Amino acid sequence: MLNYTLRRLLAVVPTLLLLIVVSFYLMRLAPGGPFTSERPLPPAVMQNVLERYGMDEPLHVQLWTYIKNIVCCFDFGPSFSQKDRSVNDVIAQGFPVTLTYGFWSAVFVLVCGVPLGIIAALRHNSFWDYTMTGLAIFSQIFPNFVLAPIMVLLFTLSWGLLPGGGWNGGQWQYVIMPAVALGTSYMAGVARLTRGSMLEVLNAPYIRTARAKGLPERTIILRHALKPALLPTLTYMGPVFVYMITGSVFIDIFFSTGGIGQDFIDGAYARDYSILLGLAVLYAMLTFVLTLLLDLLYAWIDPKVRSQL
Amino acid sequence: MTGADPILSVKNLSIRFRTGDGMVYAVNDVSFDMHAGQRLAIVGESGSGKSQIALSILGLLARNAEVEGAALWKGRDLLAMPAAEINKIRAREIAMIFQDPMSALNPYMTIERQLSEVVELHEGMSRSQGRARALEVMDAVKIPDARARLRAYPHEFSGGMRQRIVIAMALMCRPALILADEPTTALDVTVQAQIMELLAEVQQAMGTAIVLITHDLGVVAGFCEDTLVLYGGRVMETAPTRALFRAPGHPYTRGLLRAVPNINDPSATLAAIPGSPPNQTHPPRACPFAPRCEDAVTACFETLPMLEPHAGTASRRACLRPVEALT
Ligand SMILES: Nc1ncnc2c1ncn2[C@@H]1O[C@H](COP(=O)(O)OP(=O)(O)O)[C@@H](O)[C@H]1O
Ligand SMILES: [Mg+2]
């Protein structure tokens, strides 16, 4: 298991390098740059600026410096658009915010989605099942940019229960709406997925064996059916969690939470190469770590997978 | 057969299923008794309703099933029992061995847990007591190196070993009756013989009654003193196994016997019964076997034969034709 983890982590290195090289050249190929504007800067000033950011050198030299700084000091360089701030500063400020509401959003997705799915499966074809499935489909087609304004309309403007935006150090009142708005459609997805796989597992012959033992229904669900029923949900949650964090752009803008989604947008408008590249690398690493964690979790649940590691 | 009261008395059991295409009448008016320590075979082609009989006794039928009749266990009707009551009987008094050991075990739980949970539930044992009992039973079913394999998962065992584990599971509480649903069908021929031998051995040692469900009369011969032949969910014939082999009283039984490979003459061709299984979308109004029967006369297509004793023996058969007239 440890061996496997190390091997997986090592495999990340070449992939990350490739990602950096490709994104680096792609971004430079695109027309425009951080210092292009309506009124061109005087050539002397431009030369000064380019020198300051090392952009006067050939591309491969810039790339080499960039990679060297990351490897030796985990330094993603200065931001091109935000004066006197490094990419590290920007990430250090925005990432904890994104991670916080992303984490609570994932908790919300699992803590609500899984039990809802299980209940619907157990009450198969009853009123509750249909209500649940209907709601799930309804909220799955509800994108967060529709849900968020509705929530603000209700909870902030009508009832005055929750602040309509801001972060305030991550106090819970400020976290709830971003987390729920971000997670609702995934929560519905998880509920539907869990319902389906639970129904399938409950039809498995080994569940009939468990029934033939005289075990009470609760034990059958929790001890015999839950683990296998959760496997598809786990597979689903990996990319979803990454997507919830990378896809938080809208949330950051709508709720002014100040996460990295905001930096991403600002960076894109300003052609801030270093911010964009830094965030891309961050997302990639996040994806690797999360999928690894999920694979380990998968192996922990499924002995067949475990014996193959 | 002994004169003592039966432990299990199945009376006029009928099982039908609601399906999208209407009703399926899977089991029709089946009755039989089981006495302590008795070995009864239920034999019939695939689809004849054998498994559903066993499942109904333990209340494990699919949701779309409707049941009629009674299955009296120590005087109480299992078919009418609430879940909490029948849960106390499952595995503790009546255990089941399923057909396919590949899918009957939970792939996500250790063997130890799957065995010990039975006695933890029914006998209030602790984990360590449960483990001790599991070891004991695994030894009894001759799983080599049992102690080391307690923590293994089902996929780490061969088919034959898995079936031994399933049998061990059925033995955990030393039940009075075991329903063995085609315990060897999914296994290699050589392993089949070993498993039957094992079943006979534990049955002898524990005095458990066994209902052995099979489609293969060959499996029955050395094992069960009584045999019940099922066709289209109806009992065709029931007799002491020896009498059944010597003088089958029903054309269907005769056909089945011709389909048993002859150990003494392996070159003899197997005579499969021509025709296809009966349509079960109506309750039978005539002999379900008539369309495939060589001896059928017009009456066979019009009247439903009742199960009646024949020639003053312990055998009973449901056939309109006199035994002497059968080919
Ligand atoms: N849930 C179900 N719904 C509809 N028909 C069923 C269901 N379960 C079993 N049957 C039908 O009942 C009949 C008897 O099945 P079964 O007892 O499993 O046969 P076997 O003798 O091979 O064990 C078959 O025709 C089968 O199609
Ligand atoms: Mg069957």
What pLDDT does B277 receive? 81
| Min distance B204 CA to chain A CA atoms (Å) | 23
Burial of A214-239, coded b for 16+ CB within 10 Å and e otherwise, reads bbeeeebbebbbbbbbbbbbbebbbe
Cα separation values, B21 from A26, B16, B18, B197, Å: 61, 13, 8, 43
Q: Does B108 contact A212 at a Cβ distance shorter than 8 Å?
A: no
Burial of A149 (0-12, 13-18, 19+ CB in 10 A): middle
Its domain, for residue B319, covers 8-93+173-325
Ligand 1 site residues (CB inside 6 A) read B 17, 19, 24, 26, 44, 46-52, 62, 64, 280
Ligand 1: residue whose CA is nearest its atom 12? B26
The DSSP secondary structure of B120-170, one letter per residue, reads HHHH---HHHHHHHHHHHHHHTT-TTHHHHTT--GGGS-HHHHHHHHHHHH
- Counted domains in chain B: 1
Q: In chain A, what are the domain boundaries?
A: 95-271
The answer on pLDDT for B97 being more than 70 is yes
Q: What is the CATH number of the domain that holds B80?
A: 3.40.50.300
Q: For B163-201, what is each residue's pLDDT tens digit?
A: 999 999 999 999 999 999 999 888 888 888 889 999 999
Distance B47 CA to ligand 1 centre (A): 6
Confidence check: pLDDT of A180 > 70: yes
Rounded distance between C-alpha atoms, residue B211 and residue A81, angstroms: 82
CA dist A227 and A299 (Å) reads 12
User: Residue B87, Cβ neighbours under 10 Å: how many?
Assistant: 20
Per-residue pLDDT tens digits for A81-114: 887 889 999 999 999 999 899 999 999 999 999 9
Architecture of the structural domain at A95-271? Orthogonal Bundle (1.10)
* Whether pLDDT at B36 is above 80: yes
Shortest CA distance from A212: residue in chain B: B90
Both tokens of B93, joined, read: 């008094």
Domain-located, residue B68: yes
Q: What is the predicted pLDDT for the residue at A204?
A: 95
Q: What is the pLDDT of residues B289-325, one digit of tens each?
A: 999 999 999 999 999 999 998 867 789 999 999 888 8
Residues on chain B touching A302 (C-beta within 8 angstroms): 107-108
> Ligand 1, atom 23: nearest CA belongs to which residue?
B51
Q: Is residue B245 part of a domain?
A: yes
What ligand is nearest to the CA atom of residue B185? 2
B46 at interface of A, judged by CB pairs closer than 8 A: no
- CA of B320 from ligand 2 middle (Å) equals 28
For residue B215, the CA-to-ligand 2 centroid distance in Å is 9
Residue B270, pLDDT above cutoff 80: no
Distance CA A247, CA A241 (A): 10
Domain membership flag for residue B153? no
Encoding tokens for residue B56? Answer: 């109904």
CA atoms within 13 A on the CB side of B172: 35
Q: In the structure, what pLDDT confidence band is assigned to residue B267 with cuts at 50, 70 and 90?
A: low
Beta bridge partners of B168: none
| pLDDT tier for residue B264 given thresholds of 50, 70 and 90 | low
Contact A227 B108 (CB under 8 A): yes
In a domain, residue B3? The reply is no
Probe site for chain A from B100, B106, B109 (most A CB atoms < 10 A): B106
Residues in Cβ contact with A142 at an 8 Å cutoff, skipping those fewer than 6 apart: A184, A185
Cβ within 8 Å, pair A307-B155: yes
CA-nearest residue to B120 within chain A is A215
B293 lies in a domain? yes
pLDDT of A3: 84
Cβ-in-10-Å burial (0-12, 13-18, 19+) of B3 comes to exposed
Question: Would you call B194 helix, strand, or coil by DSSP?
Answer: helix
Chain B contact set for A303 (CB, 8 A): 107-108, 153, 155
Does any domain span residue B147?
no
Model pTM above 0.90: no
